[in-house]
């Protein structure tokens, strides 16, 4: 979580980072540290939702800003991954090209099945351009779609947002990112599908320290890969000379020995 809070602020300096949690999290020993991060960084917000769940329904919570019209652009990501340079450039391509309403980034050989048409942890949305959600608030969406089914987030968002093939043909951006040992299949729906070579050199990331990009590239084999960024990776991050990293270092050093031990520092 500390890496997510700091790294994403550097990568997306104009963004508000929001993490949703349930009331049960407050009893977790890590919660005070999570709260400290939110106090230290104005751009990092933790938001409690008064919703009960049985299995993986909280994966739907990330869609709240889309349905409640809380932002012009919403990027959804998993809490167990950090973006590499490929993913960052792909996301900035969507940010800079406002004609697209939805983006899904495919990065793995297994991203070839119908359940992966939209990857909940590698997608982005412009709510005002998505007619299917114009009259649908998050509470209605959540309570009508939640289930104990694993992967419910992708299942329901795909069903909702890809029904209109004329819409996807012109407004759905599918980006494939090649990496070692990963072979990407063709898209399964009519859409605009492009490979990174068509835009990569045009996207400049001069606001991101090269040492940070190198660290992220070394930590992640393919975009969206679940990783453990504690220990040596976090130590390397804290060595980077950047005001946000310096503030993160201060928050960690002022945390309890239990927190520092958990993050293997």
Q: Which two tokens stand for residue 117?
A: 């048409």
Classify burial at 197, counting beta carbons within 10 Å of its beta carbon; exposed 0-12, middle 13-18, buried 19 or more: exposed
Q: Where are any strands of DSSP class E within the chain?
A: 17-21, 44-48, 74-77, 102-106, 122-125, 172-176, 192-195
Residues 6+ apart with CB under 8 A from 207: 10, 13
> What is the gyration radius of the CA atoms in the chain, in angstroms?
18
Structure confidence at residue 135 (pLDDT): 87
| pTM of the predicted model as reported, rounded to 2 decimal places | 0.94
The bridge status of strand 102-106 relative to strand 122-125 is: antiparallel
Q: What is the pLDDT along the chain (265 residues), one digit of tens a residue?
A: 999 999 999 999 999 999 999 999 999 999 999 999 999 999 999 999 998 877 778 899 999 999 988 899 999 999 999 999 999 999 999 999 999 999 999 999 999 999 999 999 999 999 999 999 988 999 999 988 888 777 789 999 999 999 999 999 999 999 999 998 899 999 999 999 999 999 999 999 999 999 999 999 999 999 999 999 999 999 999 999 999 999 999 999 999 999 999 999 9
Q: Which two tokens stand for residue 160?
A: 């909702």
């Amino acid at each position: 979580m500390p890496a997510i809070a700091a790294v994403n602020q550097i990568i997306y300096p104009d963004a508000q980072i929001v993490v949703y949690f349930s009331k049960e999290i407050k009893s977790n020993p890590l919660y005070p540290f999570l709260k400290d991060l939110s106090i230290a960084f104005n751009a990092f917000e933790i938001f409690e939702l008064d919703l009960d769940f049985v299995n993986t329904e909280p994966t739907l919570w990330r869609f709240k800003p889309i349905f409640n019209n809380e932002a012009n652009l919403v990027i959804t990501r998993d809490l167990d991954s950090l973006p590499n340079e490929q993913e960052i450039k792909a996301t900035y391509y969507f940010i800079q090209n406002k004609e697209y309403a939805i983006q899904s980034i495919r990065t793995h050989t297994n991203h070839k099945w119908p359940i992966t048409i939209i990857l909940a942890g590698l997608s982005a949305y412009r709510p005002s351009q998505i007619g299917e959600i114009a009259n649908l608030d998050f509470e209605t969406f959540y309570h009508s779609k939640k289930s104990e089914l694993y992967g419910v987030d992708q299942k329901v968002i795909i069903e909702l947002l890809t029904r209109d093939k004329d819409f996807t043909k012109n407004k759905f951006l599918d980006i494939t990112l090649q990496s070692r040992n990963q072979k990407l299949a063709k898209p399964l729906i009519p859409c605009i599908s492009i490979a990174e070579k068509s835009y990569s050199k045009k996207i400049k990331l001069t606001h991101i320290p090269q040492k940070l990009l190198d660290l992220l590239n070394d930590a992640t084999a393919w975009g969206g890969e679940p990783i453990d960024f504690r220990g040596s990776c976090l130590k390397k991050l804290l060595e980077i000379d950047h005001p946000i990293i310096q503030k993160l270092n201060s928050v960690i050093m002022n945390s309890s020995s239990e927190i520092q031990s958990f993050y293997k520092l």
